[in-house]
Amino acid sequence: MINGLFIFIISYLIGSFPTAILAGKLIKKIDIRKFGSGNAGATNVFRVLGRKAGIGVMAIDIFKGFAPVFWLPGLFNISMESIIYFQIIAAIGAVAGHIWTIFAGFKGGKGVATSAGVFWGLLPLPLTIVFIIFITVVVISKYVSLGSLIASFSFFVIIVLQKFVFNQDIPDTLFYLSFLVFIGIWILHKDNIKRLLKGNENKLTFGEKKKN
């Protein structure tokens, strides 16, 4: 119980590192949440600060999810049989930290990149497939939100197929986590879904835009 609490707190603090907000302040001395889409995530950094900053922020946000899941539980005296549960705790902490960062008034990003890092640590092959799907959708459509929505749904479908069709050893905890992340990402993108349906969603471009 104590180990789980420590892991959650440390993972939350790692996830809370406000990468996009710091990038805005360091590069242009702005609050990234007041420009572009108003979101403190890598996509908005691409729009407002440019490609290099966007790639850097995305890489760090992915690492914020990967590191707590892949390394943190191993630093505690945890049996191999139960380590998956502590990895799940780390995953939840990291994603929650990114979305509700304590360092920026509990207003962070939407958790897509950090969730990707989490699953890269837990299920690297399915995540790699989904990453290819994400890139393909974004390149074709120029809609990062659409790529995120399709990628999160595709990941859950892959896990379902692995577990129930191909009978692979996917723990129930990972199955439920993939479902929660899929639902969570769609809920956090509800405004993007409305704009996609209306045909006025922001496409991925570079340069500063007014906040919607």
Let me know if residue 145 belongs to a domain: yes
Q: Residue 211 pLDDT > 60, yes or no?
A: no
Let me know if residue 210 belongs to a domain: no
> In Å, what is the CA distance from 45 to each residue of 8, 105, 113, 123, 182?
27, 19, 13, 27, 23
Model pLDDT, residue 206: 60
Average pLDDT of the segment spanning 165-183 = 95
Mean per-residue pLDDT of the chain: 93
Let me know if residue 155 belongs to a domain: yes
Model pLDDT, residue 117: 97
CA distance 22 to 30: 9
Model pLDDT, residue 207: 54
- R_g of the chain, CA atoms, integer Å: 17
Cα four-point dihedral sign 132, 70, 102, 20? negative
CA distance 134 to 128: 10
Average pLDDT of the segment spanning 53-80 = 94
CA distance 201 to 182: 20
Name the residue with higher pLDDT: 77 or 114: 114
Let me know if residue 204 belongs to a domain: no
Q: What is the value of pTM for the model shown?
A: 0.89
Model pLDDT, residue 115: 97
Name the residue with higher pLDDT: 13 or 207: 13
* Residue spans of alpha helices (H) in 71-143: 83-99, 112-122, 124-141
Question: pLDDT tens across 124-141, in order?
Answer: 999 999 999 999 999 999
Let me know if residue 92 belongs to a domain: yes
Let me know if residue 74 belongs to a domain: yes
Task: Give the model's confidence band at 212: pLDDT under 50 very low, under 70 low, under 90 confident, else very high.
Answer: very low
Q: Residue 71 pLDDT > 50, yes or no?
A: yes
DSSP-based three-state secondary structure for 127: helix
Question: pLDDT tens across 87-115, in order?
Answer: 999 999 999 999 999 999 999 999 999 99
Model pLDDT, residue 7: 97
Q: Domain range spanning residue 149?
A: 2-198
Q: How many domains does the chain have?
A: 1
Let me know if residue 180 belongs to a domain: yes
Model pLDDT, residue 79: 86
Name the residue with higher pLDDT: 209 or 206: 206
Q: Residue 191 pLDDT > 60, yes or no?
A: yes
Percent over 70 (pLDDT), the chain: 97
Let me know if residue 128 belongs to a domain: yes
